Amino acid sequence: MVPFDRTHFPEVERVIKAPASRWDKKIAADLVTEMEAFFGKVDTIPQMKQALAIAGYQGLRRQIEKAVEGKTGRDAVRAMAFAMRSFALGSPGLAVASFRDPEVDNPEYQKAAGQLAQTVRRVFSGVGIADESAKHAIRILKSLVRGFVLGEMSAPVARPMEYQKSYVFAVEMFVSGLDALRDASITADKLAVNDGRVNPA
């Protein structure tokens, strides 16, 4: 494998060496590590983005599965939410790479994304959230995690304990709101049927 020469990417090298924030350095260093691992397999920037996204999806799935092992119901949802934030904080480069879904027909990418989605849906099914409700729940949770992580990364002074406390409250609000999401989805389906927009058969 050809050694990865980060000097060919002056912006990355500048961020690593400059007296930047700890998050700037963590994101750049994490991406460099992954690029070194995949450098022999990719030839273009889009391929590199796909490789990083695949690694991110796989890593997040493993962390969620480990966190929810032996847990059910709302405890599993809480564990998943904390695992998602923990992964993003521990591997910020991979998290950033997987924040935006590239439009690809790469089978490996599709497999990694599908396995992650299956894991997340399985956790939500344990609290009666499925189908359309699950789509909304996943979208809300992803936004919650990304918002907190990006906020913490961009904070002028790191206050991990303050963010952790706020995140605990946010997760509890999210978990409590799942019942309302499920009920709202059922109501919306009934209204659609009564309006004749959905065939009850």
pLDDT higher at 43 or 118:
118
Give the per-residue pLDDT at 1: 45
Beta strands in the chain (DSSP E): none
Which CB contacts under 8 angstroms, 24+ apart, belong to 175-180? Answer: 175/74, 175/77, 175/78, 175/81, 178/74, 178/77, 178/127, 178/129, 178/137
Give the per-residue pLDDT at 173: 96
Mean pLDDT to the nearest integer, 17-34 = 57
Q: Of 77, 81, 99, 102, which is closest to residue 27 (Cα–Cα)?
A: 99
Instruction: Give yes or no for residue 79 having a pLDDT over 70.
Output: yes
CATH topology of domain 42-154+162-187: Tetracycline Repressor; domain 2 (1.10.357)
Instruction: Give yes or no for residue 71 having a pLDDT over 50.
Output: yes
Q: Is 97 exposed, middle or buried (0-12, 13-18, 19+ CB in 10 A)?
A: buried
Instruction: Give yes or no for residue 92 having a pLDDT over 90.
Output: no
Give the per-residue pLDDT at 50: 78
Give the per-residue pLDDT at 154: 72
Give the per-residue pLDDT at 155: 67
Residue pair 53/109 in contact by the 8 Å Cβ criterion: yes
Summarised one tens digit per residue, pLDDT across range 127-179 is 999 988 999 999 999 999 988 888 887 765 556 678 888 999 999 999 999 98
Give the per-residue pLDDT at 191: 52
Mean pLDDT to the nearest integer, 97-102 = 67
Instruction: Give yes or no for residue 20 having a pLDDT over 50.
Output: no
Average pLDDT, the chain: 76
Mean pLDDT to the nearest integer, 63-81 = 97
- As a whole number of angstroms, the distance between CA 21 and CA 30 comes to 14
Instruction: List the Cα angle 65/55/82 in 5-degree steps.
Output: 40
Give the per-residue pLDDT at 24: 55
